[in-house]
Structure 1
Amino acid sequence: MRARPDSTARDVPPMTPVNIVQLTILAALWGASFLFIRIGVSDFDVAPLMALRVGIGALFLLVVLIIRRPLRESIDTLKRRAWPLVVVGVLNSAAPFCLFAYAELTLSAGVTSVINATTPLWGALVAFVWLKDRLSTLRSIGLAIGFAGVLMLVWDQIVAPSSGTVATPATTALAAAAALGATLLYGIAASYTKRHLMGVDALTVATGTMIGATVVLLPLAIAQWPAAPISLHAWTSVLGLGIGCTGIAYMLYFHLIAVAGPARAMTVTFVIPLFGILWGALFLGERVSAGMLAGCAVILVGTALSTGVVKRLPGFGARGGATAAAADKR
């Protein structure tokens, strides 16, 4: 990165009304991904569903890349950066997508979308450990608050499991651990991208990583392809995941990074759980408990503090820490 994350945020232009609408659409799309995973994973199983998701997304993004960039230049860049693109494809797509799909065999779409909001917490922690980004006292408190919110959320699910699942405390905890593992991988992917893919345009990164994820997941998908017929609802969910929640959403996300900056684009994290809970309740009849909402609120407060969206607390002093250390993850 050409400058420290703290300094880049100061040069970001304000969000326009059009950007705010785009951000809301992006949150709705990514919130819907948890709904589509919940619908499709029981028919497809984990690896086939996610291989189709990244494969369709890769095809969509590859077409856009060919339209927008000279073909020879795009191919040369993908070849030269093949290994880092595959690594990020695994860390940022293949592995976390599969972990979320596994989690949704037990957890509801709404709950997994809330756990996804811990991504910036991991991003800040990994950047502190790996890239030595400064982590102020206020941001450290935010990390503790955010993870306390996860514990509240998991406890709520143990006490009252999601409808339609036969969940024990152990399976619920394992599913939550899988979802948290997915967000940890997002945080690692962000720091790895800073180290190894800076200077590569966002569209090429998105396309290359999706191709890499597809290559990695394809053998697993073939080996685990379901023998039973797959329902129309499941196929519809695959198309929604691949085209809407991956291809279109990634394009929209990188557009927001370009026009409004990574710190502003990162705020989509705060809106995704609202749509995740809404879609799950509307289309799947998922339970929305007071404990779940409380856990969501605590996680979002912790995220706001740890990422520097909230820079000062009353009586805490003027220096709230770095503003965007984890700003490059969803």
Structure 2
Amino acid sequence: MTLPSFLRLICLAAIWGGSFLFMRIAAPTFGPAYLIEFRVSFAALALLVTALYLKRSLHFRAHARHYLILGLLNTALPFVLFAYAAQTLTVSTLAILNATAAIWGALIAFFWHRTPLSVKSLIGMVLGICGVIILVGWDQTLVSEALIWPVLAGVLAAVSYGVASNYAKNAPQIAAFDNAHGSMWAAVVWLVPLLPFIPMRAVPDSTEISAVIALGVICTGIAYLLYFRLISDVGAASALSVTFLIPLFGIVWGYQVLDEQVGINTLGGMILVLAGTMLVTGFSPATWQTKRAARAR
């Protein structure tokens, strides 16, 4: 991996870790439906501008069914669930729950595609589940009936990402940029019916409005472009390593900006979740270094 690619990886992890910070700031006022409708709308517009610049046609109608499925499973549903959870949970907790997506993806692949589970994968799943339990079970502020639903929403959001990744295995072969662009517009459509039933809670201030704009343009639109560039430069396997950096930035942003306390349960839960994710995905620093050296030759 070249220095520019490495810097893009760090930048992407910082941006995606920051997405949970921006949701935490804006969700209590905007509510989950309006927050995510604004997020995907800004992202869709940013990707539209990019598509016009690159002279790329989306052909939405030709692949409408695919974009609608992907927009629901990979964008609208998990985004809304995380936004609901962000009204209560800390930035670090949200980021760590997000990292379990690969674990759920492997479990779903076992039932959906009959993909065998290795011993390492099974151990990884157990570690990941234990990590989530430690993350929320040792913190007395989380052990309450009122906060069970936000935690469950965060887990279900990660499950939705796992379902989306399995759907993509048999989905139409469409360019990654077009998938992102089309799924954002599909998410805009999916979220419209929710708006009358989940209204905004108050009039947002300038900080909350800025957070929503950053969430859509930077954390979604620009982040997708960075991610696709990474896949093009270093391959999907190396780009996956961003998954292990996002919780670190989530913890840093929550501590620095919102003064969220980082307890032993947060660090312990994060270590177990990331270790479990590495085992499930087969990713390891040694393997990554070997592939990197081979690519350099």
Residue 81 of structure 2 corresponds to: 99
Residue 30 of structure 1 corresponds to: 16
1:240-273 Cα deviation digits (max 9, x unpaired): 1001100000111121122212111111110000
Residue 69 of structure 1 corresponds to: 55
Amino-acid identity (%): 40
Residue 20 of structure 1 corresponds to: 6
Does residue 43 of structure 2 align to residue 57 of structure 1?
A: yes
Flag the 1:227–1:275 CA change in 2: closer, same or farther, 3 A.
closer
Please point out which of 234, 237, 250 is paired with 1:263. 237
Is the Cα–Cα contact under 8 Å of residues 126 and 276 in structure 2 kept in the other structure? yes
Is the Cα–Cα contact under 8 Å of residues 154 and 173 in structure 1 kept in the other structure? no
1:53-87 Cα deviation digits (max 9, x unpaired): 001001111111222134xxx243x2211111111
SS of residue in 2 equivalent to 1:102:
helix
Structure 2: distance between partners of 1:152 and 1:134: 28
Structure 1: distance between partners of 2:239 and 2:45: 24
Residue 182 of structure 1 corresponds to: 157
Residue 295 of structure 2 corresponds to: none
Corresponding residue pairs, total: 287
TM-score (norm 2): 0.92
Flag the 1:269–1:64 CA change in 2: closer, same or farther, 3 A.
same
Structure 2: distance between partners of 1:203 and 1:69: 12
5 Å-filtered alignment, 1:246-257, equals 246-257=220-231
Residue 173 of structure 1 corresponds to: 148
Is the Cα–Cα contact under 8 Å of residues 31 and 201 in structure 2 kept in the other structure? no
Structure 1: distance between partners of 2:231 and 2:131: 28
Moved over 4 A (4+): none
Is the Cα–Cα contact under 8 Å of residues 111 and 292 in structure 1 kept in the other structure? yes
Which stretch shows the higher mean deviation, 124-133 or 48-57? 124-133
2:170 counterpart letter in structure 1: R
Structure 1: distance between partners of 2:279 and 2:100: 12
Structure 1: distance between partners of 2:276 and 2:244: 11
Structure 2: distance between partners of 1:278 and 1:236: 20
Is the Cα–Cα contact under 8 Å of residues 305 and 311 in structure 1 kept in the other structure? no
Is the Cα–Cα contact under 8 Å of residues 106 and 171 in structure 1 kept in the other structure? no
Quote how far apart the aligned CAs of 1:192 are. 0.8
1:110 counterpart letter in structure 2: S
Quote how far apart the aligned CAs of 1:122 are. 1.2
Residue 309 of structure 1 corresponds to: 283
Flag the 1:209–1:233 CA change in 2: closer, same or farther, 3 A.
same
1:24-79 Cα deviation digits (max 9, x unpaired): 10000000001000100111111000000001001111111222134xxx243x22
Residue 292 of structure 2 corresponds to: none
Is the Cα–Cα contact under 8 Å of residues 67 and 186 in structure 2 kept in the other structure? yes
RMSD: 1.8
Does residue 194 of structure 2 align to residue 220 of structure 1?
A: yes
Which stretch shows the higher mean deviation, 199-208 or 226-235? 226-235
Please point out which of 125, 133, 142 is paired with 1:143. 125
Residue 293 of structure 2 corresponds to: none
Structure 1: distance between partners of 2:272 and 2:79: 24
Structure 2: distance between partners of 1:299 and 1:97: 20
Structure 2: distance between partners of 1:115 and 1:283: 20
Structure 1: distance between partners of 2:130 and 2:202: 41
Structure 2: distance between partners of 1:215 and 1:20: 36
